Structure 1
Amino acid sequence: MVRFKADINGKWWINKLVEENNHELASPKERHLLRSHCSIHGKEAGFLQSMSKVGISWRQAEVDKDFMCNQKSATPTIQHSPLLNQAREVYTIKIYNIFQKLLVNGACGSRSNVISTIANTMIYSVGRFGDQKEYQVNFDSTSKDIKCTCKKFETVGLLCSHALRILLMMNVMVLSDRYIV
């Protein structure tokens, strides 16, 4: 790298030379590879501009939602539910509403049966009323660990209505931090 500087008389002189960063001049065949000679034209430029606008609008929507969440909190359907109160504190309003719907569907819209008990782990079969499809939910009463075969938590990051039903049945009123993503 070479840095030039002009003195008072207008004469140029080398201000700084770092030989490790110095390289040979690019040949005419290689000049198109230099950053100063690269430019984007036509369709590519239009595409990049439109994607930039989309990114800016997404970010603005995110900022607006964050502001809204800081200004007000979600109203729980069930006023004295420790699970809903905890969820209201940690989730955005949109995610809270989804969680609330899952909790109510699990509590009121599904049925469950104990399949077996192995040590501290209880295995349940959970399904919706009027539907033959069932999911298996494993609940460890010692560690409060819960897993459902629907894999909603692993894919979406929210406990499913099946798991929430079993947590309510087992009188678990506070979610472990591992289930709040």
Structure 2
Amino acid sequence: MYATREQWVPVYMRNTFFGQLSGNGGGLNSFFDGFVTASTTMQMIVKQYEKALASWNEEELKADHETTNTTPSLKTPSPMERQAANLYTKRIFMKFQEELVETLANPATKVDDSGDVVRYRVAKFGEDHRGHTVSFCSFENKATCSCQMFEFSGIICRHVLAVFRAKNVLTLPSHYILKRWTRDARTGGAILEEECGSEIPNGTPESSTSKYNNLRQEAIKYVEEGAKSIHVYKVAMNALQEAAKKISAVNSGLPSGTPSTNGSGQDLLPAIGESESASQSVVSFSYYRTLAIEVHCYF
């Protein structure tokens, strides 16, 4: 096992992307926390998995709603922080903000200036023995750090940010912004170039980001109202079906009143059967809530 440690020990895999945001990980243990115990049978695990998945989706919707409807507090006058606040989800922005603020206590000292690549030593005051080496290429506007935090988690580290500060790089280069961590992660389009440069999006109606956020905000309000009772739920689902048909017709170039199906003669969304109990409908709404947002925002 020791001979193959680079294949299974995380500390030897810092150059491999895991998208891990916390030091303690969590993984499946975090996903099943509160749903599975040592005495849970295999049969119960299947049922508990469905509950865990519904809970996970619920938390994701809450996080999306909070990201869309709240404005992060800025701690510095940095254009880079303002840019990140417009691009990242709330959780990712807070991680980035923490790294950015730490640059104030982690100065970058140039140690080698030969050729196109400049090397810096970045360490916290009084802790030089725990410093890291950052190599910066001004031609490509790229930097690599010995801590390999960006390669491992996709969040740029305080050491690289300290070098950017020393080199007067005011905004994040586009290659340091992973789409998976942005507000637009669910959309199919690429990150707009102006969002990665010195120009910060102003949220005009013509902006794809603005239109997406407006649709998502309205969709979340819609599904929250629809979950209040079984009667409102059925009305909401019928309205959602009609809206989905109209959107599909517009995308297909058909008149808005033309019925639209999925190719098998069925409506885009299944109707709620009369025999379905109220309790089953309300429980299943966790799934349809996610589906509703996807239908509204996708088109």
Shorter-chain TM range is 0.7 to 0.9
SS at match of 1:115: strand
Q: Which residue of 2 aligns with 1:136?
A: 133
**Contiguous gaps of at least 5 residues in structure 1:** 1-41
Q: Which residue of 2 aligns with 1:109?
A: 105
User: 2-side partners of 1:73 and 1:49: how far apart?
Assistant: 38
Deviation at 1:170, TM superposition (A): 0.4
The reply on whether 1:54 has 2:49 as its aligned counterpart is no
Deviation at 1:122, TM superposition (A): 0.7
- TM-score by length of structure 2 reads 0.45
Deviation at 1:153, TM superposition (A): 0.1
Does structure 1 retain, via aligned residues, the 8 Å contact 2:119–2:133? yes
Q: Which residue of 1 aligns with 2:92?
A: 95
The reply on whether 1:165 has 2:162 as its aligned counterpart is yes
The reply on whether 1:154 has 2:151 as its aligned counterpart is yes
Higher helix share: 2
Aligned-residue CA RMSD (Å): 1.3
1:72 to 70, 73, 85: 70
User: 2-side partners of 1:77 and 1:163: how far apart?
Assistant: 19
User: 1-side partners of 2:110 and 2:136: how far apart?
Assistant: 11
CA deviations 1:10-69 (Å, max 9, x no partner) are xxxxxxxxxxxxxxxxxxxxxxxxxxxxxxxx9222011112111111111011110111
Does structure 1 retain, via aligned residues, the 8 Å contact 2:108–2:166? no
User: 2-side partners of 1:67 and 1:161: how far apart?
Assistant: 28
Q: Which residue of 2 aligns with 1:13?
A: none
User: 2-side partners of 1:49 and 1:130: how far apart?
Assistant: 53
Q: In the comparison of the two structures, how many residue pairs are matched?
A: 138
Does structure 1 retain, via aligned residues, the 8 Å contact 2:118–2:136? yes
- TM-score by length of structure 1 reads 0.73
User: 1-side partners of 2:91 and 2:166: how far apart?
Assistant: 26
Deviation at 1:118, TM superposition (A): 2.5
Higher relative contact order at CA 8 Å, sep ≥6: structure 1 or structure 2? 2
CA deviations 1:103-126 (Å, max 9, x no partner) are 1101x1113221111222110011
Q: Which residue of 2 aligns with 1:126?
A: 122
Deviation at 1:178, TM superposition (A): 1.1
* Structure (1 or 2) with the larger CA radius of gyration: 1
Which structure 1 residue ranges, 4+ long, deviate > 2 Å from structure 2?
none
